[in-house]
Structure 1
Amino acid sequence: MVRAWVQVCVNGTRGGADGAAVPLSPEAIAGSAAEAVAAGAADVHVHPKTPCGRDTLSPRVLAVTLEAIRARVPGSVPVGVTTGAWAEPDPAARVARVRSWSALPDHASVNWHEPGAERVAAALMERGVGVEAGVWSGTDGAARFLRSPLGPKVLRVLAEVTDTGPASAEHSARALLSDLGEAHGRPVLLHGEDGGVWPVLRLAGRLGLATRVGLEDTLLLPDGRRAASNAELVAAALSWGTSARRGGP
């Protein structure tokens, strides 16, 4: 298994109601990320949180979170953050937040179906931050991305399958990949959500694509048990990916 095959998505929009395993504070996020990297993750994606657990693009919170992670995670491991519209609904305010960051992540995800996506992506690129183009199934994100002059400049495409049905997620994933076509020649990271996580992850392994896993995307292991940590999910993902590439069940 190539180490760079999996990104860990540490917490996402989840909160305290999702269980104690979901890290919310900078220290908890950093510790969970470090454990996941030790388990084999080669890239980190986090959602910095306010003290009340809300996603934020605040420069102060971002700086504290990045500092905590980089104190625990090897410097060779890239660290990325969200720029989801739920954290800052107004596109102009989202761009202003990016321009106000005092500490910079290695990359940031931009969901291409959201209003203002290209403006946010351009602001990130101006600051030297890599852009992960989030293209969700069930949206017009793929069409928008393929029309975008910024498409060839992104770091990678995050192909996110929003179909959570265990039996239908693989079909949705294949349709999304078809919609993306050559994806401007950029690398594609394929992943699913909740009930679709493991079928989509297995497909990514068969296709030789990068993928991601973590408590943002699922709280459950492949056998349905609740995951105790991001590290446990990463270890399971690496095992499943190896099996898929070898033609395992």
Structure 2
Amino acid sequence: MTKAILTCALTGVLTDPAQHPVPVTPEQMATQARDAFNAGASIMHVHLRAQEPGRGHLPSWDPDVAERVIAAIRQACPGVLINLTTGVIGPDISGPAACIRRVRPEIAACNAGSLNYLKLKDNGQWAWPPMVFDNPVAKVQQFLDVMAECGTHPEFECFDVGIVRSVAMYVKAGMLAPGHVPECNLVMGVASGMPCDADLLELLPRWLPPGAIWQTTLIGRAEIWPVHQRTAELGGMLRTGLEDTFYLPDGQRASGNGALIEQLAACAERAGRTIASPDEARTMLGIRPHRGDTP
């Protein structure tokens, strides 16, 4: 089987650092990234947080913040690949586009389709007002154009089966710039998207574009770990981190990203796979050689 690329999703969006051990500042992000890097992660998936006191639970699209955070991570983790988030509601992509142009990440997330983003409480009340995470084809194309301009590899985020199938159509329609290996991130566990289910996972690779690499993002608690193991056994790439879960396989809360990546590496090893280095991950994804440790 192919080597396993490990991605660490360092912090996510909106999680309150006053309640959870999520990193916010460049120094905190670099420290958590270094722990994950030492545990085997070759890619850091980065969300940016507001840096003002008391606002660290809010997202930021300030290119200066992006530059400071990415520079700190690259210095702490020589050779690491950066995967920058881009998710925004509405048609205005100027914030994430400016951040991509400033730091030129090796990879950027490209949300590949729209989703009714819902969550229901046990009492039947909405956890937040029902909303649409809107990613029409024209918006997807805008992001792909910015990524192509900056030499950034797109990772297609797929929250539902129809979105997986849409990516195959994007590739066939010529939306993906020549030379890029199609990559799909199968996001499972969002309440109104695909469930975190090993039986469903086994079916999904048949709908991928030809020659695609795929990974899973699994949202939840201890129940996600058997599906991580099945991902490893099926040949998928692996991702976890404090964006996706706070819990280790035994149900205990993780102390940080390094502990989560250690468990992810163990999944790969049980499946008989070795862990890809950053340079090996670049080769597998068709990304050009390392650019250095600064944006």
Displacement of 1:97? 2.8
The whole-number CA distance in structure 2 between the counterparts of 1:64 and 1:239 is 32
Residues 1:97 and 1:245: Cα distance change in structure 2 (over 3 Å): same
- Aligned partner of 1:144 among 160, 166, 171: 166
State the shift of 1:10 in Å: 0.7
Show the 5 A alignment for 1:112-131: 112-113=112-113, 114-115=135-136, 116-131=139-154
- Inter-partner Cα distance in structure 1 for 2:59 and 2:229: 29
Contact 2:196 2:227 in 1 (8 A): no
2:183 aligned partner: 156
Identify if the C-alpha distance between structure 1 residues 186 and 2 changes in structure 2 by more than 3 Å, giving closer, same or farther: closer
Closer, same or farther: CA 46–145 of 1 in aligned 2, 3 Å? same
SS in structure 2 at match of 1:188? strand
Q: Which residue, 78, 83, 101 being the options, matches 1:80?
A: 83
Alignment of 1:13-32 (within 5 A): 13=13, 14-19=15-20, 21-32=21-32
Q: Residues 41 and 117 from structure 1, CA distance in 2 versus in 1: closer, same or farther, beyond 3 angstroms?
A: same
2:288 aligned partner = none
Structure 1 residues 124 and 57: alpha-carbon distance in aligned structure 2, compared to 1, 3 A threshold: farther
Unaligned runs of 5+ in 2: 114-134, 274-295
Deviation at 1:241, TM superposition (A): 2.5
Percent of matched pairs sharing the same residue: 26
Q: Which residue of 1 aligns with 2:41?
A: 41
Check 1:103–1:96 CA distance in 2 against 1; reply closer, same or farther (3 A cut).
closer
CA RMSD in angstroms comes to 2.6
Query: Any gaps of 5 or more consecutive residues in structure 1?
Result: none
Query: Hey, which of these two has a bigger chunk of helix by percent?
Result: 1
Q: CA deviation at 1:91?
A: 3.7
How many residues get paired? 237
SS of residue in 1 equivalent to 2:74: helix
- The one-letter code sitting in structure 1 at the alignment partner of 2:157 is G
- Is contact 2:4–2:238 with CA below 8 Å preserved after alignment? no
Paired amino acid for 2:153: G
Amino acid at match of 2:36: A
Separation (CA, whole Å) in 1 of partners of 2:216 and 2:196: 15
Q: 1:37 to 1:145 in 2, by over 3 A?
A: same
- The 8 Å contact of residues 134 and 159 in structure 1, kept in 2 or not, is answered as yes
TM-score when scaled to structure 2? 0.72
Distance 1:232 1:96 in 2: 32
Contact 1:124 1:130 survives alignment (8 Å): yes
Does the 8 Å contact 1:3/1:41 carry over to 2?
A: no
Distance in 2 separating the partners of 1:3 and 1:33: 21
Return the match for 1:204 from 231, 237, 245.
231
| 1:150 CA drift (Å) | 2.6
Please tell me whether residue 225 in structure 1 is matched to residue 277 in structure 2.
Answer: no
Which has the greater radius of gyration?
2
State the shift of 1:217 in Å: 0.8
